[in-house]
């Protein structure tokens, strides 16, 4: 196995990008196109998944020529495949032929009504056409059936955030946190949504979830900054009593010191870094003064 990797570091790169779900389409096209053109014979069975990956990246880069080539190879190898049909649909989407793309997905769903990929592509079309309300409605319907689809819950939370419907976005993130209690990113995003909603209760919730995100990953800078922001806003609020104020000043101070430390660790004495450190010091002064 390692022998093959030595021969094909590019293949290894493509695999990593696939696994991490990176959308670095230009790089994928660069690496993938060369692999396909020069080394197709050495790729074995991996070539099919590479064709798929390169095709999608090619669509992202408006390289219809390359996308078409990949699609033809896949059609030839897997005639009648729903997965390849979906790729054909995506190509139509890229060409903005939404009606034709929808027909393609509808035909997949006729044969297989549980095909989640086709349903999600139809929702993506609504999104691409700017029909946010419809996309949200369809995605909600989808999630009633496929309640465990995390990607869908996350997409829905983003759609709600873009519509400034923070309450519903929070609900989606709550679903994600329930099924992924160790995921620091969901905690942190939930905290950001609560913070944006505003009001003392939401600020306190946001502080708790920023803290939780930090517990899960103490290097999450957004959570650290978020903890500082929420705690200092609570401390500055006229609605809190002295005990709560004192506690939040403590949290904010702790956060600021951690932020300072993080910058010292990262810093190479760059000018920008010095400014950030200075800003953080000012943040510390402003809390202790209030």
Partner 1 sequence: MSIKLTTQAYCKMLLHAAKYPHCAVNGLLVAEKQKEKKKDSHSTPILCVDCIPLFHGTLALAPMLEVALTLIDTWCKENKYVIAGYYQANERTKDFRPNQFAEKVGARIAENFSEAAMIMVDSTRFTMGCYEPILTIYDHHENKWKCRDCNADCFEDWCEAQKITSALLEGRSYESLIDFDNHLDDLRNDWTNPEINKSVLHLC
Q: Least distance in Å: CB of 244 to partner 1?
A: 20
Counting contacts by CB under 8 A, is residue 278 touching partner 1?
A: yes
Stretch that binds partner 1, among 13-21, 38-46, 172-180, 193-201 (CB under 8 A): 193-201
List, in sequence order, the alpha helices (H) in the chain. Answer: 2-7, 9-20, 25-39, 46-60, 64-77, 82-94, 98-111, 116-128, 132-145, 150-162, 166-179, 184-197, 200-216, 221-236, 242-266, 271-289
Q: Which of 53, 115, 206, 256 binds partner 1 (CB under 8 A)?
A: 206
For partner 1, what does the binding mask look like between residues 250 and 269, x meaning CB under 8 A?
------------xx-xxxx-
Chain centre distance of CA 31: 24
Longest CA–CA separation in the chain, Å: 73
Specify the long-range contacts of residues 141-149, CB closer than 8 Å, at least 24 apart.
Answer: 142/116, 146/116, 148/179, 149/116
Q: Which of 12, 23, 103, 137 binds partner 1 (CB under 8 A)?
A: 23
Counting contacts by CB under 8 A, is residue 116 touching partner 1?
A: no
Q: Which of 19, 65, 99, 272 binds partner 1 (CB under 8 A)?
A: 272
| Structure token pair of residue 250 | 């403590």
> In terms of CB distance, is 16 or 278 closer to partner 1?
278
- Among candidate residues 166, 168, 219, the one with its CA nearest the CA of residue 195: 166
Counting contacts by CB under 8 A, is residue 34 touching partner 1?
A: no
- How would DSSP label each residue in 117-181? HHHHHHHHHHHHTT-HHHHHHHHHHHHHH-TT-HHHHHHHHHHHHHTT-HHHHHHHHHHHHHH-T
Counting contacts by CB under 8 A, is residue 177 touching partner 1?
A: no
Counting contacts by CB under 8 A, is residue 28 touching partner 1?
A: no
Counting contacts by CB under 8 A, is residue 82 touching partner 1?
A: no
- Among candidate residues 64, 65, 53, the one with its CA nearest the CA of residue 27: 53
Q: Which of 124, 183, 196, 217 binds partner 1 (CB under 8 A)?
A: 196
Counting contacts by CB under 8 A, is residue 193 touching partner 1?
A: yes
Counting contacts by CB under 8 A, is residue 195 touching partner 1?
A: yes
Contact set with partner 1 (CB under 8 A): 23, 26, 60, 128, 130, 158, 161-162, 164, 191-193, 195-196, 198, 206, 221-222, 225-226, 229-230, 262-263, 265-268, 270-273, 275-276, 278-279, 282-283
């Amino acid at each position: 196995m390692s022998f093959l990797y030595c021969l094909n570091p590019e293949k290894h790169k493509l695999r990593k990008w696939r696994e991490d779900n990176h959308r670095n389409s230009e790089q994928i096209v660069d690496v993938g196109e060369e692999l396909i053109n020069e080394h197709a014979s050495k790729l074995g069975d991996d070539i099919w998944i590479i064709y798929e990956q390169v095709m999608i990246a090619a669509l992202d880069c408006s390289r219809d020529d390359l996308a078409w080539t990949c699609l033809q190879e896949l059609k030839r190898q897997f005639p009648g495949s729903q997965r390849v049909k979906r790729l054909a649909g995506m190509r139509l989407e890229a060409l903005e032929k939404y009606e034709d793309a929808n027909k393609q997905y509808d035909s997949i769903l006729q044969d297989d009504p549980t095909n989640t990929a086709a349903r999600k592509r139809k929702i993506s079309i609504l999104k691409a056409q700017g029909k946010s309300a419809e996309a949200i409605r369809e995605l909600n319907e989808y999630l009633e059936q496929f309640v465990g689809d995390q990607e869908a819950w996350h997409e829905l939370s983003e759609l709600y955030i873009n519509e400034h419907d923070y309450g519903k976005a929070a609900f989606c993130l709550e679903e994600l946190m329930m099924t992924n209690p160790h995921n620091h990113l969901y905690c942190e995003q939930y905290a950001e949504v609560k913070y944006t909603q505003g009001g003392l209760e939401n600020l306190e919730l946001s502080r708790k979830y920023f803290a939780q995100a930090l517990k899960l990953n103490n290097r999450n800078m957004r959570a650290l900054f978020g903890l500082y922001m929420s705690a200092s806003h609570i401390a500055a609020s006229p609605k809190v009593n002295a005990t709560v104020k004192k506690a939040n000043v403590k949290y904010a101070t702790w956060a600021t010191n951690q932020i300072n430390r993080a910058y010292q660790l990262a810093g190479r004495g760059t000018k920008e870094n010095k400014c950030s450190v200075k800003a953080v010091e000012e943040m510390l002064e402003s809390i202790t003064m209030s």
